[in-house]
Amino acid sequence: MYFEDFDNAGAQERNGEDVYSKPVRAGKRTYFFDVKATKNNDYYLTITESKRRVDKDGRFIYDKHKIFLYKEDFEKFTESLQEVIEFIKERCPVTERVAEVPQEEEKTNNFTDVDFDQL
């Protein structure tokens, strides 16, 4: 496994032919799961976290952090990730957020009874 931190000046990415990509949007961040191929047509995975922020100049820039994950590490990585996720779920379960509608809006009816014959 290899970890790379990109600067916003356009750091060079390791070369690899794109095979498959799966973006996951999560709030202010986007995660990219990209399958790439080496010159020998061997696949590996890159996981990129991209977060948009505003630069001093007022322009949008993206902070990117990338992990390179190779086939020989998939099983250990997957097992460890699953173990950590289960640990978190057991200790801090996710609660569903229910959108609360203000009672005033709930009771307000925007329609009025109109007798069209009176118009």
- Closest to 67 measured CA to CA, from 42, 44, 48: 48
> Where in the sequence is the domain holding 66, given as residue range(s)?
2-94
Domain presence at residue 71: yes
pLDDT on residue 2: 53
pLDDT on residue 76: 97
CA angle 28, 29, 34 (to 5 degrees): 155
- Closest to 47 measured CA to CA, from 36, 60, 61, 58: 36
Domain presence at residue 80: yes
pLDDT on residue 93: 81
Residues 6 or more apart whose Cβ sits within 8 Å of residue 73: 1
Residues of the chain with confidence (pLDDT) below 70: 1-15, 96-119
Compute CA distances 66 → 22, 30, 100, whole Å: 14, 12, 38
How many structural domains is the chain composed of? 1
Here the CATH number for the domain that contains residue 13 is 3.10.450.700
Domain presence at residue 114: no
Domain presence at residue 100: no
d(CA 48, CA 76) in angstroms, rounded, equals 19
Domain presence at residue 53: yes
pLDDT on residue 113: 54
Domain presence at residue 111: no
Residues 6 or more apart whose Cβ sits within 8 Å of residue 51: 28, 29, 30, 62, 63, 64
pLDDT on residue 68: 96
